[in-house]
Amino acid sequence: MPTPAPAPAPSTAPTPAPASQLDVADALTALLRDTATEPRPDTQLEALTLAVAADLPVLLWGEPGIGKTAALTQLAEALDLPLTTVIASVHEPSDFSGLPVVGDDPAVQGVPMAPPDWAVRLVRAGRGLLFLDELSTAPPAVQAALLRVVLERRIGALRLPSGVRIVAAANPRSSAADGWELSPPLANRFVHLRWAHDHEVVVRGLGGTWPLATLPRLDPGRLADAVDFARRAVCGLLTARPGLVHQLPGSEARRGGPWPSPRSWEMTLRLIAFATAAGSSRDVLSLLVRGTVGDGPGLELLACVDRMDLPDPETLLADPASAELPRRGDLRQAVLDGVVAAVRARPEKARWDAAWDLLVRALDTGAPDLVVVPANTLAALRREDWDVPASIERLSGVVALSRRADRTAARVADRATASAKAGR
């Protein structure tokens, strides 16, 4: 009879333990955190990255839960910068100014100020993103200690390397836990950006795809022109409006935001240069400028910037057939007024005719009402020996219609006045 085969030896390999519910929960959490990014136009994110590229401290203002911290975390990952988060409100002033360390002979060696561990890590790394969170809940003594950190990049005896960027976040005092207004010296060291949620961005991000944060692409060939443009814009405004050089707001709340000073104008100049070299949109530049010197001065500066790009009236008069007029109504009006002023300064028949050709071109390519005032002013400049150009016929209807509208408006106003007097 054949010998039966021996039974297989029992396996000695350990049987894997069943996954615990916590392990399964961790796996699910990891899947939820697994998100992607996509290039997507985002004005406030572009403004943030431009200010970070310009190495200026940024302060994000927004309601709790709006996504300020998440935006900074994603920014640090996208820029491959190690993120160091410091909750300003839970620290003492000595955590930023340094702790005194008494040596063997303090009378000879002095007493050095030892920096905290997070500052040492940043110096060792040589680069990083320092995120100062909950700034508006930091008491005044801590805010005072932060002045040197934000402006001079010094913490105790250490100086942060140039590769470290500083971004802070704060809630408005009305929604902050035991909130304080920012002190004017600290507020004036930041570029203030109002952080608001975008419904479409939030929905798409919750679906797994957030906007990609990238540093602006600066054109190497435009750097010198960008600096010249920024200097002309800022210096031109401050020459015409010297009262804007330094203007400390009267209310405590406004002093805790952006306001004009020589320091903030220097920051504004840098931002204009970076935005120009990067080809950023006017919306991005508006956020940055208004967030540095305030809404009023910022809007005045933007108006100056707009007019710096206007074509030269003499160039337009030299070749009216190929003139490119601005599309925006206020800028087009400024160009046409400038052309009429140039003819008034040097009245010649050829220049007068060319101005009429420009008005006809403006009529064909834009709103008719914009040519009414320049046409009337230009007609008043005619001399007796100048023949009326044929192009005036194209404009006569618009001017006549405008005059009829003015007369109608005057009659309506007169009737309203008479009715008001009769009702007394």
Picking from 99, 113, 157, 160, the residue whose alpha carbon sits closest to that of residue 132 is: 160
User: Is this structure's pTM higher than 0.85?
Assistant: no
Query: Could you tell me if 272 and 337 lie in one domain?
Result: no
Question: In this predicted structure, what is the pLDDT of residue 15?
Answer: 61
Length of the chain measured in residues = 424
- Sheet containing 163-170: give its strands across: 83-87, 127-133, 163-170, 58-61, 191-194
Alpha-carbon gap, residue 270 to 385, rounded angstroms: 54
Does 406 reside within a domain? yes
Query: Could you tell me if 273 and 409 lie in one domain?
Result: no
Q: Which of 194, 211, 228 is the last residue of a domain?
A: 211
Does 10 reside within a domain? no
Is pLDDT of 45 > 80? yes
Q: Which of 308, 332, 353 is the last residue of a domain?
A: 308
Q: What is the pLDDT of residues 290-327, one digit of tens each?
A: 999 999 999 999 988 888 878 888 888 988 888 888 88
> Domain range for residue 346?
313-422
Query: Could you tell me if 275 and 151 lie in one domain?
Result: no
Is pLDDT of 105 > 70? no
* pLDDT classification of 17: cutoffs 50, 70, 90: low
Q: Which of 273, 290, 308 is the last residue of a domain?
A: 308
Does 319 reside within a domain? yes
Does 341 reside within a domain? yes
Alpha-carbon gap, residue 122 to 134, rounded angstroms: 20
Distance set, CA 301 to CA 193, 285, 295, 338 (Å): 18, 11, 10, 20
Q: In 10 A of CB 109, how many CB atoms?
A: 10
Query: Could you tell me if 155 and 277 lie in one domain?
Result: no
Picking from 122, 140, 129, the residue whose alpha carbon sits closest to that of residue 179 is: 140
Q: Using CA atoms of 294, 295, 300, 305 in order, give the dihedral in degrees to the nearest 10.
A: 80
Q: In 10 A of CB 377, how many CB atoms?
A: 16
> Which whole number is the average pLDDT over 276-292?
95
Query: Could you tell me if 60 and 153 lie in one domain?
Result: yes
Q: How far is CA 413 from the centre of its chain?
A: 44
Question: In this predicted structure, what is the pLDDT of residue 407?
Answer: 47
> Which whole number is the average pLDDT over 46-64?
93
Query: Could you tell me if 321 and 249 lie in one domain?
Result: no
Q: Are 63 and 172 in contact (CB under 8 A)?
A: yes
Q: What is the pLDDT of residues 174-230, one digit of tens each?
A: 665 566 788 899 999 999 999 888 888 888 888 888 888 788 899 999 999 999 999
Structural domain total, the chain: 3
Alpha-carbon gap, residue 152 to 169, rounded angstroms: 19
User: What's phi and psi for 261, nearest 5 deg?
Assistant: -155, 165
Query: Could you tell me if 242 and 269 lie in one domain?
Result: yes
Query: Could you tell me if 192 and 75 lie in one domain?
Result: yes
Does 1 reside within a domain? no
Q: Using CA atoms of 40, 45, 49, 52 in order, give the dihedral in degrees to the nearest 10.
A: -170
Does 15 reside within a domain? no
Position 365, amino acid = T
Q: Is the dihedral of CA 395, 396, 399, 405 positive or negative?
A: negative
Token duo for residue 62: 């927004």
Alpha-carbon gap, residue 117 to 99, rounded angstroms: 11
Position 296, amino acid = G
Query: Could you tell me if 297 and 332 lie in one domain?
Result: no
According to the per-residue pLDDT averaged within each range, which of 114-128, 136-150, 155-169, 254-268 is highest? 254-268
Query: Could you tell me if 207 and 343 lie in one domain?
Result: no
Does 4 reside within a domain? no
Q: What is the pLDDT of residues 385-420, one digit of tens each?
A: 888 777 777 676 655 544 443 444 455 455 656 666
Query: Could you tell me if 322 and 298 lie in one domain?
Result: no
Query: Could you tell me if 186 and 239 lie in one domain?
Result: no
Does 176 reside within a domain? yes
